[in-house]
Structure 1
Amino acid sequence: MAVQTGRAARSHPMLPPVFDDAGELAALPRNLERWPVHEDHSGGNAGAVRDSLIAAASHGTWTWPEKPVVFISDPHADADGFLRSLVSAGAVRRLNDGFVLTPFGRMAKIIVGGDCLDKGPSNLDMLNALNRLFDLGADVRLLAGNHDLRLRLAIRALTLPKAPLTEHLFVRMGRKILPLLAEINTRYVTPEDLACLPEEAECQERIFPSSSWKATFPAAAGPYLTPLGIEKELKKLKKKAKQFAKQADAEGLTMREVYAASLRCRDLFLSPDGAYSWFYSAMDVVEQIGSIVFLHAGIDDTMCALLAKDGPAAVNTRYRLEAEDDPFAFYSGPVANLVRTKYRPVDGQLTASGVALLHQAGIKMIVQGHVNNHKGQRILAKNGLLHLEGDITLDRTSRRLEGLTGIGAGATLIFPSGDVVGLSSDYPRVKHFKPEHHL
């Protein structure tokens, strides 16, 4: 496998060498352009970006990482998309029987921005590829995504006694984890497991909320959700219950098999000695490096205050404590908002006061996943705070549904020099951001 050494690659030493992936890696751009924040596909509001940069600059200069950072987010159970992205960043070289770290990969910090699970083609292959990266000794930081937490909350809720705040959560979260449950059913569920379960009708009763749930949920959810949020949850559950049954049928799963696979998931992921227990054990919700905070979705004023006052360790500690507590209270609260917000009215709110707290603490930009894009990364100001959207639609399922061809590849690279690079197989040039270029 030869190093790509074209003229553009040599003229820009900030770009790590890209190793040809046995001829299968899509041709990736090597020519840089100034990040086109004025274009919708790359931001869409240069004026707002400039205003955010000016506001942040009033509290000091940028602090950059001491070593290169590679940010890859939302692989969504597509190990090939994930590995090709690592190749595109120059972090790994693929071999016939796996992959190895390159010299650049050994010196860089690799941040996986969440949503490793769901969609497909294979959740377990994706997890095995991620685990291999840890085993190789890479400096990896794994962040939680909303799809990752769906599995955790769904299987926990299924094993709790029926209660208004939790009995709907498996169906509420579970449709998108059904491809994983199908994999678990094939690889791990035995005839003996099924023989220990009740009949189909009782398994279905355990999976779906009781007939009284719709009447009891609003009062129970009052302390956690606004009236608008409660109304939305009721409507969403009705729709999701139909989708769940339809998707289970599409995956070829009976309700007994769904239930058996969920119990097996609990053992594999949540038991201390489970084969995939490392996945949630390694997971945090934020990483701060200098002036940049990495997370999955976004932030609200509550988390701005905690992050600015006590730092990322306090946020991650709160995440670990609350994730083990009441599932509904956790998912409805400001910590889980970090992995699911899209800055909608029903989400936790980010206001000028929260942005000011971050700027005063020296935080100038959020790097996130969660919002997938079709022409590479975007940089834009959200509520006055600079955000880089790094989800470039890697997985084949999303790409097929959204009209993109092939397997996605790309990464966001941030260098000690203050250069930010957006690389994507779906955009013809490498986007290059340097804050002073946009002031």
Structure 2
Amino acid sequence: MQNATAFSTPSAAQLLPPVFDENCDIPDLPRDVEPWSLQASHSATGDPKHMQKISACLEKARTHGGWHWPSKPVVFLSDTHADAEGFLRSLVAAGVICRSAAKNSDQAGFTLTAFGHSATVLVGGDCIDKGPSNLDMLDALADVIATGVDLHLLAGNHDLRLRLAVDALRGPRSPLTDHLFVRMGRKLLPALREVFDRYVTDADIAALPDETACAARLVPPADWAARFSQAAKGQLPAKVIRLEIKKLQQKSAQFDRQVAKTGLTTRELLAAALKCHDLFFTPGGPYAWFYDRMDVVTRIGSLLFVHAGLDDSMCALLSEGGPDLVNARYRAEAERASFAFYFGPLANLVRTKYRTSDCKLTSSGVDQLHRAGIHMIVQGHVNNHAGQRLLAKHGVLHLEGDVTLDRASRSLEGLPGIGAGATLIFPSGDVIGLSRDYPRAKHFAPERIAENWS
């Protein structure tokens, strides 16, 4: 087997958009390209058999129709997590937008570049949560969409959490949903503070009962665990039921402290949560477009874009009806927001890390993917500290494109400043990973690698 990086590397001028060097004031952003090291831990994995697994994936692609690349450049970025500045810097880094020093070119302070007009932008989920501002992030996303860019938006697990938490408070009480606001909503509390400050009125609060009644609505009753165990029997495996009860106990211990940090009373918090329904899930609401535009998978050529990953049943559904069928099923189930849905194969698309507790991806499902012509999964969800990674997971290539953009995660994980990065995929079959946390742009060309290995 020859070295996987033996193919010639095009220059930065050939692969990076022209605006890249003309309008880049982002510290540490790479300006040189290197072959994607498939053996280095920062780009791949420490598994000694990793190269053999990559080779097997490439061979499967070759024997199942080869690679089919997008007809125009694709820019993938993911997990912006309520950091509008990280999002916009990433689009600058990818050459999609040009920002003005003063906001005089247009209201948003940026314009779409020639490359931006020619590209497809894929935002891979988890636009919300963590910080610094959920609403600023969504406003920035709306401004980018308003430029006319070809932008596709995917669902992430944090985006789903908001829907589940809000629906649980609005629907009839049930042991299957009584815990969901505490279970899902703890990480949403900063967003609820923003919603309260911007949208909640005195009339909204006056329409609610007293503090005690509101507190009782936000948290599950004392006998919830026993009632949940009984109600979930037959819908979820016993192991999942036990784990859910344990998680709720852990999160309940933190919940009051987290609520106190928001500075909101329980009445104010409930008012903000209920207001989210008007904002996000009511037709004509100021942010209803966010969920209306959201798919769960997008296919372009041999590439499938999804927030987290797949299981066998989703491979079968893709083989049966393509992304349109998967998206239709996901949308219908998400709008009903049942608790069993969260642990099922459709929500697994935004949740899986291929853990033993997740829905399973086996050789059977992977074979269906390859026969359908899908040879690489491009995902977010798993954040990395040195740019993108390429892994062979269960027999199919996965490109992990979450490069830790948001300041909240970066601060907790010891990374400086504001993140910036994106994955660029060209009609030529060249894949470029950009991140301010790795000194060079990583270049992957699977067809040329396969030629060197053959």
Q: Report the equivalent of 1:65.
A: 70
2:134 — aligned with what?
123
Match of 1:13 in 2: 14
**Residues 11/304 of structure 1: CA separation in 2 closer, same or farther (3 Å cut):** closer
More divergent stretch after superposition (22-31 vs 160-169): 22-31
Letter in 2 for 1:282: R
Shift of 1:32: 1.2
Give 1:164's aligned residue: 175
Q: How many angstroms does 1:22 deviate by?
A: 7.8
The amino acid across from 2:168 in the alignment is A
Output the CA distance in 2 between the equivalents of 1:18 and 1:399: 27
Distance 1:137 1:53, change over 3 A: same
The equivalent residue for 2:349 is 338
CA distance in structure 1 between the partners assigned to 2:10 and 2:421 by the alignment? 16
- How far off is 1:24 after superposition? 4.8
Match in the other structure for 1:4? none
Measured after TM superposition, the shift of residue 331 of structure 1 is: 1.2
Amino acid at match of 2:361: L
Give yes or no for the alignment of 1:217 onto 2:224.
Answer: no
In the aligned structure 1, how far is the partner of 2:345 from the partner of 2:207?
40
Check whether the contact 1:224–1:333 (CA below 8 A) recurs between aligned residues: no
Deviation at 1:323, TM superposition (A): 1.0
Identity of aligned residues (%): 59
What residue in structure 1 maps to residue 441 of structure 2? Answer: 430
Deviation at 1:20, TM superposition (A): 7.1
The SS at the match of 2:304 is strand
Distance 1:224 1:334 in 2: 13
Shift of 1:19: 5.0
CA contact (8 A) 2:83 2:405 kept: yes
Q: Secondary structure at the match of 1:399?
A: helix
After TM superposition, the structure 1 stretch with the greater mean CA deviation from structure 2, 81-90 or 161-170, is 161-170
How far apart in 2 are the matches of 1:19 and 1:358?
Answer: 35
**Distance between the aligned counterparts of 1:104 and 1:150, measured in 2?**
34
Structure-to-structure mapping, 1:5-404, within 5 angstroms? 12-19=13-20, 24-44=25-45, 45-95=50-100, 96-97=102-103, 98-404=109-415
Q: What's the CA shift for 1:25?
A: 1.8
> Closer, same or farther in 2 for the Cα pair 1:76/1:374, shift >3 Å?
same
Which stretch of the first structure deviates more once superposed, 24-33 or 312-321?
Answer: 24-33
Which one is further off, 380-389 or 212-221?
A: 212-221
Amino acid at match of 1:313: D
After superposition, the C-alpha distances for 1:117-166 in whole angstroms (9 at most, x for unaligned) are 00000000100011111111110000000001111111011111110111
CA RMSD of aligned residues (A): 1.6
Runs of 5+ in structure 1 lacking a partner?
A: 1-7
What SS does the corresponding residue of 2:57 show, helix, strand or coil? Answer: helix
Structure 2, unmatched stretches of 5+, are 1-8, 104-108
Deviations 1:233-271 (A, max 9, x none): 000001111222211111212211110101111100011
AA matched with 1:38: Q
What SS is found at the alignment partner of 1:405?
A: coil
1:23, distance to aligned residue in structure 2 (A): 7.1
Deviations 1:271-302 (A, max 9, x none): 10110000000000000001000000000000
Structure 1 length normalisation: TM-score?
Answer: 0.96
Q: Deviations over 1:371-392 (max 9, x none)?
A: 0000000000111111000000
Larger deviation, residues 40-49 vs 128-137 = 40-49
The CA distance in 2 between the partners of 1:22 and 1:36, in whole Å, is 28
| 1:404-415 superposed matches below 5 A | 404-415=415-426
Contact preservation (8 Å) 1:71, 1:412 = yes
Shift of 1:407: 0.3
Equivalent-residue separation in structure 2 for 1:158 and 1:21 (angstroms): 50
Measured in 1, the distance between the counterparts of 2:405 and 2:350 equals 18
Distance 1:243 1:401, change over 3 A: same
Distance 1:228 1:28, change over 3 A: same
One-letter code of the match for 2:83? D
1:220 Cα deviation (Å)? 2.0
Give the secondary-structure state (helix, strand or coil) at the position aligned to 2:85. helix
Query: Secondary structure, in 3 states, of the residue corresponding to 1:40?
Result: coil
Q: Note the alpha carbon deviations across 1:80-109, whole angstroms, 9 max, x for none.
A: 000000000000011232211000001100
Contact 1:155 1:266 in 2 (8 A): yes
Distance 1:30 1:9 in 2: 13
Q: Whole-Å Cα distance in 1 between the matches of residues 83 and 19 of structure 2?
A: 20
Instruction: Give the Cα separation in 2 of the matches to 1:202 and 1:405.
Output: 44
Q: CA deviation at 1:11?
A: 5.0
After superposition, the Cα gap between the structure-2 partners of 1:21 and 1:164, relative to the gap in structure 1 and judged at 3 Å, is: farther
- Bigger drift between 216-225 and 428-437 goes to 216-225
CA distance in 2, matches of 1:406, 1:21: 22
TM-score by length of 2: 0.92
Does 190-199 or 356-365 show the bigger shift?
190-199
- The superposition leaves residues 343-366 of structure 1 with CA deviations (integer Å, 9 ceiling, x where unpaired) of 111111000100000011110000
Number of aligned positions between the proteins: 432
8 Å Cα contact 2:23/2:92 also seen in 1: no
Amino acid corresponding to residue 365 of structure 2 in structure 1: G
